[in-house]
Amino acid sequence: MDQHGPAGPSQIDADIALTALTFLGLGLAALHHLLQPLPIGLYGAALALAYLAGGLPPLRGALVALWRDHILDIDLLMVVAALAAAAVGAPVEGAVLLALFSLSGTLEHRAMGRARRAVEALMQLRPETALLKRAEGVVEVAVASLVPGDLVVLRPGARVPVDGRVVEGEGRMDESTVTGEAAPVHKAPGAAVHEACVNLDGVLTVEVTRALADSTVARMIRLVTEAQAAKAPSERFSDWFGQRYTVAVLLGAIAAFFLFWALGRAPSEALYRAATLLVAASPCAVVISVPAAILSALAASARGGVLFKGGAALERLAEVKSFAFDKTGTLTTGRAEVTAVLALAGDEAQVLELLAGIEAQSEHPIAAALRRAVAARGLVPVAVQGVQAHPSEGITGTDATGPLWAGNARMAARMGAGPDPRLAALEASEETLVLLGRGPQLLGAVTVADAPRETSAAALVALRRGGVTRVMMMTGDRRPVALRIGAALGLTPDEIEAGLLPGDKVRLVEALAAEGPVAFVGDGVNDAAALARADVGIAMGAAGSEVALQAADVALMAEDMGQLADAQRLARRAARVIRQNLTFAIGAMVVLVIGGAFFNLPLPLAVVGHEGGTLLVVLNGLRLLGDPIRRS
Ligand code: ADP
Ligand code: MG
């Protein structure tokens, strides 16, 4: 069975048509034998139809594999077995073999096609043109020509052409295409909007934040494409096994033919027995066991908005016993509010304008909070150049006066700005503290408060109930803030690590990994290394940073923590189904081979046993398609 190419809708249609034709031919030929002899011409035509429709596609696949990749695959075995059956006067059995083989191939392609089609449907939702706002008016331009900073106008009912940020207007947005979340989301200035979502009622002006090629939808498409390239370990095993085994079975059948002959059977009977053995020993069911389960599980999770980059991540997630979480933007919403402003030089407005200026392009949730605060107060961000982010510390840049920085105490210490008694009140709060300074001079400080996601606390409970033994929160933020959020989530102080640099997160993940497989869930630039180091890296989908998504193995498009436990349950179920399938397939094969070698197993029984087993295994895998990842 070829698992090489992607299965598009047209291929699936062709699969279904060929399978139907094969069954039609088989049905007519069976009619001839069972009920009513047909004219010999019609009987022959029916058999020819079954053999051509059912045999040519696998024969072509087998020849391509032989020619291009120099491998003998199972398709070849099936065609040879069917021809051998015909040669020994059992053409209908051969047709049954081809028909069932064709059916299991079609089912397999369907499972594969599901996940892909979900994303291809998204691609079709991408608008081609956008309304670009220029000084002289609004013009229609190609979406591909938009660059970050352009302003586009969204009319009610229009699909969003690119990822961007609302700068003017308010209204509701249907984001179900990207997040899977059905309820409309209210958008006001400062809110992010994603390509392919539908603007329901407001007239919005949106600033483009990402070029088309980097948009959320483009990222999802890349994720799913990568998913098909990254095979699970057990999948690779069955590929490897399939090739070696095919050769062995072919040689074994030839050897059996001569052996039966030498033991005194007639040549035609020896051929019949060899053909039976060939069918009995063909490992179709073994080889399809794993992909049938994995692809179904990947498709089911993709439908719920949880994208796995491949079967390998799925198999590892089933094993995970420890979960480590980033705080800001992961366990918390990342939609923080500025709660207090302290000016140590100039006034509060100046402090905010400098902060919003230096954070103008930052992807950090703190930056968004500062920009919103400035917009809400009708202030104007100061122009800042040469901005550089320092993950888990802050950000630096230069305005008209000179170098400028914003960040936490670590950043302040780096700049030579020592502890300052005037900060005592802000430091006493359990909120995130952002300091602003010029070299060693402190200009001001703000506190930013962020709340846990509504789904976080329940998700941690669900994970623990599902057998996760260790849960940790790892943050670059101050410990008092971490303790407040942790307490709200039911975490104990020893499950919380604060004040971390990106490298600290990696070390902590490594320490956890020493005890068993570990998953890390994060969103930020500062989480990328930990995401890559964890056995399973899980990134926040739409709002997560690009690097985090790239480093991760799984993307939570709906950013619903509640889905983690569901995803793990699905991964465990998939692992169980794989074990069931392999046990059953190998067991059935052994029984059939023993029957064929020693007990004169009739060919029709071998065919039914073999193909029936293959079908059962595929259907068992497809059960996972019905296992939903719910949204909380
Ligand atoms: P978390 O690990 O919880 O996601 P981060 O590591 O992203 O948090 O941030 C840790 C701390 O570093 C923040 O609490 C903040 O004080 C500081 N920081 C990081 N990036 C910025 C930024 N762009 N502007 C201001 N402060 C920042
Ligand atoms: Mg974060």
Q: Write out pLDDT tens, residues 271-312.
A: 888 888 888 887 778 777 887 788 788 878 877 778 887 788
For residue 514, give every residue at least 6 positions away whose Cβ sits within 8 Å of its Cβ, in sequence order, or none.
none
3-class DSSP assignment, residue 69? helix
What is the pLDDT, as a whole number, of residue 396?
93
Q: Which domains does the chain have, with CATH numbers?
A: 9-115+230-298+571-626 (no CATH), 128-210 (2.70.150.10), 312-332+452-557 (3.40.50.1000), 337-449 (3.40.1110.10)
Say what the pLDDT of residue 615 is. Answer: 82
Q: What is the largest CA-CA distance in the chain?
A: 106
Supply the pLDDT for residue 387. Answer: 87
Ligand 1 atom at minimum distance from 330 CA: 4
Which three-class secondary structure string do you get for 434-501?
EEEEECCEEEEEEEEECCECCCHHHHHHHHHHCCCCEEEEECCCCHHHHHHHHHHCCCCHHHEECCCC
Mean pLDDT of 395-418: 93
Does position 519 have pLDDT exceeding 50, yes or no?
yes
The neighbour count for residue 244, using CB atoms within 10 Å, is: 12
What's the rounded mean pLDDT across residues 95-108?
81
Ligand index nearest the alpha carbon of residue 545: 2
Q: How many CB atoms lie within 10 A of CB 612?
A: 14
Pairwise CA distance, residues 455 & 563, whole Å: 9
Q: What band does 86 get if pLDDT is binned at 50, 70 and 90?
A: confident
Say how many Å lie between the CA of residue 549 and the centre of ligand 2: 12
Of residues 558 and 343, more confidence is placed in 343
> What is the H or E stretch that residue 139 is in?
strand 137-142
State the average pLDDT for the chain. Answer: 84
Q: Which residues surround ligand 2, an ion (CB under 5 A)?
A: 326, 328-329, 523-524
Q: What is the pLDDT of residues 334-359, one digit of tens each?
A: 888 899 999 999 899 999 999 999 99
Strand arrangement, sheet containing 536-540 = 306-308, 554-556, 536-540, 518-522, 322-326, 470-474, 496-497
Mean pLDDT, range 240-244, rounded to an integer: 73
Atom of ligand 1 nearest to the CA of 482: 3
Q: Mean pLDDT check: name the lowest of 118-122, 440-444, 566-570.
A: 118-122
The total number of residues written for the chain in this structure = 632
User: Candidates 363, 393, 443: which one to mutate for ligand 1, based on the most atoms within 8 Å of Cβ?
Assistant: 393
Of 31-40, 396-405, 499-508, the least confident: 31-40
Ligand nearest to the CA of 503: 1
Give the pLDDT score at 5.
Answer: 42
- Active-site residues: which are they? 326
Q: Is the CB of 332 under 6 A from ligand 1?
A: no
β-sheet bridge partners, residue 204: 154
Q: Is the CB of 362 under 6 A from ligand 1?
A: yes
Out of 297-301, 495-499, 558-562, the most confident range is 495-499
Determine the average pLDDT of the residues in 601-629.
Answer: 83
More confident residue, 65 or 592: 592
State how far the alpha carbon of 368 is from the alpha carbons of 70, 329, 430, 436, 501, in Å. 55, 11, 20, 16, 21
How far apart (Å, rounded) are the C-alpha atoms in residues 180 and 129?
Answer: 24
Instruction: Compute the distance between CA of residue 356 and CA of residue 59 in angstroms, rounded to an integer.
Output: 65
Nearest ligand atom owner, CA of 330: 2
- With a 6 Å cutoff on the Cβ, whether 329 touches ligand 1 is yes
Residue 316: the pLDDT is: 92
Kindly give the number of the ligand 1 atom that is closest to the alpha carbon of 433.
16
pLDDT band at 4 (very low <50, low <70, confident <90, very high): very low
- The reported pLDDT for the residue numbered 2 is 39
Please tell me if the CB atom of residue 497 comes closer than 6 angstroms to any atom of ligand 1.
no
Does the pLDDT value for residue 55 go beyond 60? yes
**Is it the case that residue 121 has pLDDT exceeding 70?**
no
* pLDDT tops 80 at residue 183: no
How much is the CA Rg of the chain, to the nearest whole Å?
31
Q: Determine the average pLDDT of the residues in 462-471.
A: 93
Judge if the beta carbon of residue 476 lies within 6 A of ligand 1. Answer: yes
431 lines ligand 1 (CB under 6 A): no
- SS3 (DSSP) at 628: coil
pLDDT in tens, 210-229: 887 777 667 666 665 555 55
Place of tokens 């207090």: 340
Mean pLDDT calculated for residue range 247-274: 87
Quick check: helix, strand or coil at residue 153? Answer: strand
